[in-house]
Copies of this chain bind each other. A is one copy, B any other.
Amino acid sequence: MFEQLGLIGCGLMGGSFALALKRAGLVKRVVGYSKSPSTTERAYQMGVIDVEAPSALLAVSGADIVLIAVPVAASEATFKSIKHLVTPQMLIMDVGSTKRDVVDAGRRALREQIGSFVPAHPIAGKEVSGVEHADADLYSGRQVILTPIERTLTIQLQKAVDVWSALGCRVVQMSPESHDAAFAAVSHLPHLISFALMNAISGQPQGKDYLSLAGPGFRDFTRIAASDAKVWRDIMISNREELLAQTKIFQRNLQALELMISSGNGEALEGLIEQASLTRAHWRMAQQQK
C-alpha cells in the first residue's frame, strides 16, 4: 500500500505504528528520526525502522506516508522542519492526545500544504514509554479518532481511514473541538487526578507505609499515573480550557459526596454511589459489545 513511512519520533506510539504497518505488509521501508540519536539507533537495532535519518526533513524525503509521534508541544516545530518536502500526494498524520492545538500548529506551519495532514488520535497506550516497549499489537482493536478540517484532502483522509482500519482499529471522525472536549473528560482529567492522588499520598509523612498496603484496586486506579511527564505536561497545557472546565465539574461532584459523608447522609450517599456504579457497569457492557 505504501512505499515508505517517514517516522518522526521513534517512541512507544511511533515505533508500534511502524511495527504494525510492517507486520501487515502495508509498507516497504521505514525511515525514522528521533530527537535523541540513541533512540533512533535503538529503533534501528530493534528492526522498528530500516534507515536512520539525521533530521526530520530527511525522514520525510521520499516518503508517501509520514507519522509524527512527538509530544504535542513539538508539533509546530516538526511541521516547520518538514514543510518544504510536503506534497499533496503525501499522507501526514500525528498521534497526539489533543487536536485543536495540533491543527492550529499545522495551519500555521504547513499553510497551503495543510490538506495532506490528517490529524489522528489512536486511543491506545501503555504505562511505560520508549521504543523498547513498541508493540505491533498496540493499536489492534482500539478506536482511532480522526479530526479532519475543511481543507483536508479527501484522498488523504480516505487513506488514513484505510490504513488504521487495516491495523484493526475502529475509525471515528469528529471535529478537533469535539475531540478535545470529550478527551478532557475521559482521559486528561483522569490523568490529572491520578497525578494529584499519587502526590497527595507520597507527600504525607506516612505515605510510604500507606503505599505498601495498597492493593489491586489501587494498582488499576493509578496505572495512568506512571505516564510520561513531558507528554502529559504538553497535553494539559494545550487543552487547558477544556480540562479546567472538567476539573471544576469533577470537584463539584466530589464536594457533593463529601457533604453527604460529613453529614452522615447514608441514603443520599448510597444513591450517588449507585448512580456511579451503574454508569460504569453500562459503559463496560457497551465496550464489550464493540
The 0/1 profile, CB within 8 Å of B marked 1, for residues 179-193 of chain A is 001110111011111
Complex: how many Å from CA A145 to CA B249? 36
A24 within 8 A of B: no
Chain B, Cβ-Cβ closest to A265: B237
- Assess whether B219 is in contact with A191, with CB atoms less than 8 Å apart: no
Known: A199-B275, A200-B250, A221-B221. A143 touches B261 (CB 8 A): no
- Assess whether B202 is in contact with A187, with CB atoms less than 8 Å apart: no
Which has the most chain B C-beta neighbours within 10 Å: A213, A225, A228, A281?
A213
Partner of A187, one of B214, B240, B264: B214
A54 within 8 A of B: no
Residues of B within 8 A of A225 (CB): 276-277, 279-280
Complex: how many Å from CA A274 to CA B195? 9
- Assess whether B246 is in contact with A261, with CB atoms less than 8 Å apart: no
A166 within 8 A of B: no
- Assess whether B240 is in contact with A261, with CB atoms less than 8 Å apart: yes
- Assess whether B199 is in contact with A186, with CB atoms less than 8 Å apart: no
A253 within 8 A of B: yes
- Assess whether B125 is in contact with A200, with CB atoms less than 8 Å apart: no
- Assess whether B229 is in contact with A206, with CB atoms less than 8 Å apart: no
In the complex, the 9 A-B pairs of residues with the closest C-beta atoms, listed nearest first: A123-B215, A198-B276, A195-B276, A186-B214, A196-B254, A229-B274, A229-B273, A233-B270, A225-B280
